[in-house]
Amino acid sequence: MKLGQRIPLSIKRLGINGEGIGYYKRNVVFVKGALPGEDIYAELTKINRNFAEAKIIKIHKQSKARQTPPCPVYDLCGGCQLQHMKYGDQLKAKRDVIVQALHKYVKNSAKQVDIRKTIGMSDPWHYRNKSQFQVRKIGSHVAAGLYTENSHKLLDIDDCLVQDTRTTAITNKAKKIIEELDIPVYNSKTHKGIVRTIVVRVGLQTGEIQLVLITSRKNFPNKEVLLEKLKGIDESIVSIVQNINNDQTSLIFGDQTITLYGQDTIHEELGELAFDLSARAFFQLNPSQTVHLYNEIKQAAGLTGKEKIVDAYCGVGTIGLWLADQAKEVRGMDIIPESIEDAKKNAKKHGFTHTKYVAGTAEKWLDIWQKEGFIPDVLTVDPPRTGLAPSLINTLLQVKPKRIVYTSCNPSTLAKDLQELMKVYNVEYIQPLDMFPQTAHVESVTLLTLK
């Protein structure tokens, strides 16, 4: 194969990033925007040792799943990957991504695993309760949005079809105020300027809104005037926070956070639980679908009221607290101290006296607790995309909780982790859920039981 070569391809399936996958002379070819069942003519844009990438030149046979993406900047943005696919077909494709991952990493056991139909949303739009838009100067205009795919070019976004409309409306007003007051905007090349990012989080059940400005330093000209104008954007804004990040990094948040106006946190409700969320605290981005996710976790946990539970990667305690009313004891850990403080407050607020939250890694505390005689009956874990740390897997294989409920946002790392865990655990089933419609993200709940 040569760069620029044009080839015919039949697309067999979707990849983990939402691209179509075809084969040319036994070589894997990834094609952005292509759908399973399509016959296309494609041009090779990148060639690696084990695979190639291509772009669509012409679609000869179009999939019945194809639709026109409703977002006007869909092709430029890269934030969504599947708007060109009908929603029902997205759900089937996401289940298939899990199937393919299992066949790659646990081939001998893959056919025996019960992989259920994906649980979708009745309305798969405007579901994200939090936006994080980078701020940059484009000419004299202050822009806020996302970088176009694989570039440092910022796409100014006034409306986003997967964001709660309030997040984009408040961001739009904030960037206009920054422009009017001529507040210096951060330049990632020169490392000069003040405002780096605008973050807006909405409590979907309470209506409370928090506005966060990420800045390169604490003090800057017109700061008080800026604050007064930001307060007037929307009466639902109950918290305005400044976070300082002066590092040359792609990370959004720095270590120092200051409340400029109102509350330190916003209030949000999930089912019968309520949570106070600080600016840096992790919370599910799709709360309405999160209720379905947590109910699936609870069902998998199989609680009788006698179980000792460990909630690893616990964040502000949401999963553990969801299970607490049917558990004997809940313990959780997280490496972010602020999240642990929030978890403690959330547990106390709900009147739970049988919970314990500590800062640190899951493997550290599981080892300590095992030596003290505490072994969980159920361990629930919701790790980042990188999956479980090898050290945690080793600890789990030694501690041996009776049940592990593994919530995953990455089928590849899930399958890799199952490859190790299946040495002492059976995989009872995998339940996919669509937490991020229109994107390639695949969430699932896996129940493992001790052999």
Per-residue exposure over 225-252, b if at least 16 CB sit within 10 Å of its own CB, e if not: ebeebbeebeeebbbbbbbbbeeeeeee
Amino acid 151 reads S
Q: What is the pLDDT of residue 282?
A: 76
Nearest to 280 by CA among 341, 192, 219: 341
Q: Which residues pair with 430 in a beta bridge?
A: 115, 446
In angstroms, the Cα distances linking 120 to 88, 131, 285, 302, 381 are 8, 22, 15, 23, 22
What is the rounded CA–CA span in Å between residue 403 and residue 310? 11
Marked catalytic residue, from 71, 80, 314, 409:
409
The 3-state DSSP class for residue 107 equals: helix
What is the rounded CA–CA span in Å between residue 293 and residue 205? 17
Predicted confidence pLDDT, tens digits, the chain (451 residues): 889 999 999 999 999 999 999 999 889 999 999 999 999 999 999 999 889 999 999 999 999 999 999 999 998 888 999 999 999 999 999 999 999 999 999 988 888 899 999 999 999 999 999 999 999 999 999 999 998 877 788 999 999 999 999 999 999 999 999 999 999 999 988 999 999 999 999 999 999 999 999 999 999 999 999 999 999 999 999 999 999 999 988 899 999 999 999 999 999 999 889 888 889 887 889 999 999 999 999 999 999 999 999 999 998 899 999 999 999 999 999 998 988 998 998 899 999 999 999 999 999 999 999 999 999 999 999 999 999 999 999 999 999 999 999 999 999 999 999 999 999 999 999 999 999 999 999 999 999 999 9
What is the rounded CA–CA span in Å between residue 327 and residue 302? 10
Amino acid 109 reads S
368: number of Cβ within 10 Å:
12
Question: Is position 77 annotated as part of the catalytic site?
Answer: no
Query: CB-based burial of residue 386 (10 Å sphere; 0-12 exposed, 13-18 middle, 19+ buried)?
Result: exposed
Phi, psi of 179 (to 5 degrees): -70, -45
Nearest to 367 by CA among 332, 389, 399, 408: 399
Contact criterion met (CB below 8 Å) for 127 and 289 = yes
Nearest to 215 by CA among 271, 135, 113, 283: 135
**H/E element, 448:** strand 443-450
Direct distance between the N- and C-terminal alpha carbons of the chain, in angstroms, rounded to an integer: 48
- Reading the block at residue 352, the tokens are 């739970």
114 DSSP assignment: -
Nearest to 151 by CA among 171, 129, 136: 136
Please name the residue that has the structure tokens 């084969």: 23
Contact criterion met (CB below 8 Å) for 354 and 330 = yes
β-strands 141-147, 154-156: how paired? antiparallel
Contact criterion met (CB below 8 Å) for 319 and 293 = no
Q: What is the pLDDT of residue 275?
A: 82
What is the rounded CA–CA span in Å between residue 53 and residue 22? 10
What is the rounded CA–CA span in Å between residue 218 and residue 213? 11
- Reading the block at residue 288, the tokens are 């309405």
